[in-house]
């Protein structure tokens, strides 16, 4: 990449990427391992037990996201370390209680697990936003949840296969393995220096937001935010479905009992997403980068649809299909979690921070994820996991094309209408 992009930032790039990637990777060890267990032939209240567990965690995660709209957007820098430490300790305690308590109360423990972990992302990203290398840092951070979800599932399945760990105790055991590394990465992340004066000029200084700031931002961009949040809600629901039921999906296409497939299939996705979106660090002009994200997402969502058609007609292998669809989903999902809103703030010189917009999108995203789980169980119980996923992909293609084009049209019109105001700040 261009030397000017990283001039004076090599230490920040390495330390920020290493610490944030490692910390969020460890966080997933407290969130996702339980989904690799099947909880076969277990039900409660006439509902599949695994669906109840996932639903409980998603509800907790969703509630945490709604709470985070205010908490993360108004958080001061000196509060971040304490919040992260408390959240991860609560998460491990809930997993220990998950192993100890009877089945109905285990559901409650996963609700509290999701509630404790839902704000970790926004707090971690607050260390990275508002820098001229935020694209690179943000994409590396995002690649952590692409890789880590599969990796911690592999660890969980390994614990069950190698040490005969009970499926109810496996989540706590997996979390315990990552507890000390989490605090090491948190210590390193705290050493990251704040954005420089050049960063603040290029990307707009990021500040805590009060209620007036939040109302002003929503009022100013209400229509495109509604359109984008609807798309992101559906996108999150499908990505979460693929993540939570990855074992069922892989089993249905011939990979029963293969612990490595969860990690190996996600690595190329992370690499390609990192390479493509990371290239936007070249683009100093905020509006051009912001528009570019729209085109990447449009291409990615179309690619998912094409790959699914080819898979159904037997033109590509199941592995290539799963990897391609995973890439398509994450190439849309990742920008919303960091760089899309970061560039939006920089482009339109908004007073505030990306965390506020990220958590608006995320809160509704996990509401959608909960809705899909309920719909699958009560509305489409006879459809296989694989068939449900395929139809979900076609739905996200149609919604994505409309939403992205509508957003692109709105933001282009708004920018060119006030072009002189925004260009004054471009270096």
Q: Where are the domains of the chain?
A: 3-423
Name the phi and psi angles at 379, rounded to 5.
-100, -30
For the chain, give the percent of residues with pLDDT over 90: 56
CA distance 42 to 168: 12
Judged by DSSP in three states, 101 sits in coil
Q: Using DSSP, how many helices (H) and how many strands (E) does the chain show?
A: 21, 2
48, pLDDT greater than 50: yes
Lowest mean pLDDT, pick from 30-34, 170-174, 187-191, 273-277: 273-277
More confident residue, 83 or 273: 83
Q: CB under 8 Å to 106, separation ≥6 — which residues?
A: 53, 98, 168
Structure confidence at residue 177 as a pLDDT band (50, 70, 90): very high
For the chain, give the percent of residues with pLDDT over 70: 94
Lowest mean pLDDT, pick from 17-26, 110-119, 142-151, 307-316: 142-151
Token pair of 144 as six digits:
């952590």
CA distance 407 to 228: 7
CA distance 318 to 324: 10
Lowest mean pLDDT, pick from 292-296, 342-346, 400-404: 342-346
Average pLDDT, the chain: 88
Token pair of 303 as six digits:
């690619």
Structure confidence at residue 184 as a pLDDT band (50, 70, 90): very high
1, pLDDT greater than 70: no
CA distance 422 to 286: 10
**pLDDT tens track for 385-427:** 889 999 999 999 999 999 999 999 999 999 988 776 666 444 4
* b/e burial code for range 139-164 (CB count within 10 A of at least 16 → b): bbbbbbbbbbbbbbbbbbbbbbeeee
382, pLDDT greater than 80: no
| Residue 325 pLDDT | 94
Average pLDDT score over residue span 4-10: 54
| Residue 2 pLDDT | 45
Structure confidence at residue 292 as a pLDDT band (50, 70, 90): very high
Nearest to 207 by CA among 120, 125, 130, 118: 130
| Residue 127 pLDDT | 93
59, pLDDT greater than 80: yes
Cβ–Cβ under 8 Å, residues 141 and 21: yes
CA distance 359 to 84: 16
* b/e burial code for range 240-268 (CB count within 10 A of at least 16 → b): bbbbbbbbbbbbbeebeeebebbbebbee
Q: CB under 8 Å to 361, separation ≥6 — which residues?
A: 228, 229, 232, 233, 336, 341
CA distance 238 to 333: 10
| Residue 231 pLDDT | 96
| Residue 421 pLDDT | 64
Q: State which CATH number among 3.40.50.150, 1.20.1250.20, 1.10.3720.10, 3.30.565.10 fits the domain covering 3-423.
A: 1.20.1250.20
Q: Give the residue carrying structure tokens 């996702």.
A: 32
**pLDDT tens track for 212-262:** 999 999 999 999 999 999 999 999 999 888 887 887 888 888 878 676 777
350, pLDDT greater than 80: yes
Lowest mean pLDDT, pick from 179-193, 263-277, 297-311: 263-277
47-48 vs 43-44, strand pairing mode = antiparallel
| Residue 400 pLDDT | 96
| Residue 147 pLDDT | 81
CA atoms within 13 A on the CB side of 384: 9
Nearest to 67 by CA among 91, 85, 83, 88: 83
**pLDDT tens track for 100-155:** 999 999 999 999 999 999 999 999 999 999 888 888 888 888 888 778 888 898 89
CA atoms within 13 A on the CB side of 88: 28
Judged by DSSP in three states, 208 sits in coil
């Amino acid at each position: 990449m261009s030397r000017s992009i990283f001039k004076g930032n090599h230490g920040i790039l390495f330390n920020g990427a290493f610490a944030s990637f490692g910390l969020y990777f460890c966080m997933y060890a407290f969130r996702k391992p339980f989904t690799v267990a099947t909880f076969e032939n277990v039900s409660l209240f006439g509902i599949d037990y695994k669906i109840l567990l996932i639903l409980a965690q998603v509800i907790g995660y969703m509630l945490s996201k709604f709470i985070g709209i205010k908490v993360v957007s108004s958080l001061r820098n000196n509060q971040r370390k304490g919040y992260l430490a408390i959240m991860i300790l609560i998460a491990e305690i809930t997993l220990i209680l998950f192993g100890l308590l009877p089945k109905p109360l285990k559901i409650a423990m996963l609700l509290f697990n999701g509630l404790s972990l839902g704000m970790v992302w926004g707090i971690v990203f607050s260390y990275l936003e508002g820098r001229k290398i935020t694209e690179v840092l943000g994409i590396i951070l995002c690649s952590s949840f692409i890789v880590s979800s599969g990796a911690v599932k592999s660890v969980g399945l390994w614990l069950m296969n190698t040490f005969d760990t009970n499926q109810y105790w496996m989540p706590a055991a997996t979390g315990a393995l990552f507890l000390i590394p989490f605090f090491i990465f948190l210590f390193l992340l705290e050493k990251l220096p704040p954005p420089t004066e050049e960063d603040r000029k290029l990307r707009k200084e990021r500040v805590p937001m009060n209620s007036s700031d939040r109302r002003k931002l929503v009022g100013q961009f209400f229509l495109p935010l509604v359109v984008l949040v609807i798309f992101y809600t559906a996108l999150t629901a499908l990505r979460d479905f693929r993540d939570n039921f990855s074992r069922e999906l892989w089993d249905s296409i011939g990979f029963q009992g293969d612990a490595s497939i969860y990690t190996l299939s996600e690595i190329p996705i992370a690499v390609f997403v990192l390479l493509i979106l990371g290239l936007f660090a070249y683009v100093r002009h905020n509006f051009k980068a912001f528009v570019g994200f729209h085109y990447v997402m449009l291409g990615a969502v179309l690619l998912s649809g094409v790959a699914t058609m080819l898979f159904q007609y037997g033109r590509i292998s199941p592995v290539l299909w799963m990897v391609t669809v995973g890439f398509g989903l994450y190439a849309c999902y990742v920008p919303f979690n960091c760089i899309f809103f970061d560039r939006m703030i920089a482009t339109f010189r908004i007073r505030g921070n990306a965390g506020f917009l990220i958590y608006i999108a995320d809160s509704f995203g996990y509401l959608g994820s909960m809705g899909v789980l309920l719909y699958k169980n009560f509305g489409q119980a006879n459809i296989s996991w694989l068939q449900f996923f395929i139809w979900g992909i076609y739905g996200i293609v149609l919604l994505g094309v409309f939403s992205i084009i509508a957003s692109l049209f709105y933001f282009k019109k708004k920018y060119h209408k006030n072009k002189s105001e925004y260009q004054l700040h471009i270096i």
